[in-house]
Amino acid sequence: MGSFPEPQIAAAQRLDRVGVIIHPSRNISRPLRKLRGWAGSRGADVVQIPIRPQDPPVADEGDPTDCDLIVSIGGDGTMLAAIRAAVAADRPVLGVSSGSLGVLTSVAPAELPDALDRFRAGAWVPRRLPALDVTCDARSGLFALNDLAVVRDGMGQIRVTTRVDDILFSRLAGDGVIVSTPVGSSAYTLAAGGPLLTPDTEAYLLTPLPTHGGSRHPLVVGAGARLELEVDGGIGGARLEIDGQIATTRPASVTVTFRPAVATLVSFADQEPLFASLRRRRVIVDSPRIVADDELG
């Protein structure tokens, strides 16, 4: 448990053009140098996929549809941006950690040339990620790879009524709610006290943020179920955030459904399991009593 499912090893494929997406402020010189060196020695092109206007230019601009692979250099936030860019083009994404090792990134900078060789040889495991399709009021076509949150946008509380397949689950008054994918359960949801789902779980999560009294139970929603949020923004208003970015303000009605296998991440059979990664980064820690017993031998 704690690892992503391992489908059959992918077939060997061309790797003539690599699209790169970078963190806007971290020092990415080492992995970028590794990427350029690998490409130069194998006759491949490197292009930059524009995401944010403030991203420093590191290569000529390119289109994801013209690339064989998208490489993200940064953390999980950069990976989410890269995955979004790759989804429409149906391209796989390889995550290179820069400054921290997140849940979505696969390799350290020093491992990048070997990872690219393994990808080209087909010695990699396609890691398929689900998403949450989101309709907010009359606006459709939104999707969340990590999570969506309906949160208060100012003073006072908001009220959120939640229904699963038209059946009332709860009515909450407080800071709002988070709805997350299995991968997203290790991010904002976990910080808010929600449960952690194994990556292959066919379900998604509803987790309340701090409330004003009443019950505050997280809910695991089956993959085939529809979740509806009715929002009353109160005095200060509410906003809808998708993968950490504000999608709209003053949402009144949000509908969420589960969509499997939306994106493809490049992973490897010897990659660190999710739970091991969370424990190493001390997101998951043992009881102090257990730690004390271990220290005493």
Q: Which residues carry out catalysis? A: 76
* Cβ neighbours for 270, distance < 8 A, ≥ 6 positions apart: none
How far is residue 12 from each of residues 34, 68, 169, measured CA to CA in Å?
22, 12, 48
Question: Which DSSP symbol is given to 57?
Answer: P
- Cα distance from N-terminal residue to C-terminal residue, the chain: 28
Residue 236, strand partner residues: none
Alpha helices by DSSP H, the chain:
29-42, 76-89, 112-121, 188-191, 274-280, 288-296
Question: Which DSSP symbol is given to 214?
Answer: S
Provide Rg for the chain, Cα atoms: 21
DSSP string, 121-179: HT-SEEEEEEEEEEEETTEEEEEESSEEEEEE-SSS-EEEEEEETTEEEEEEEESEEEE
Q: How many CA atoms lie within 13 A of 42 on its CB side?
A: 19
* Cβ neighbours for 293, distance < 8 A, ≥ 6 positions apart: none
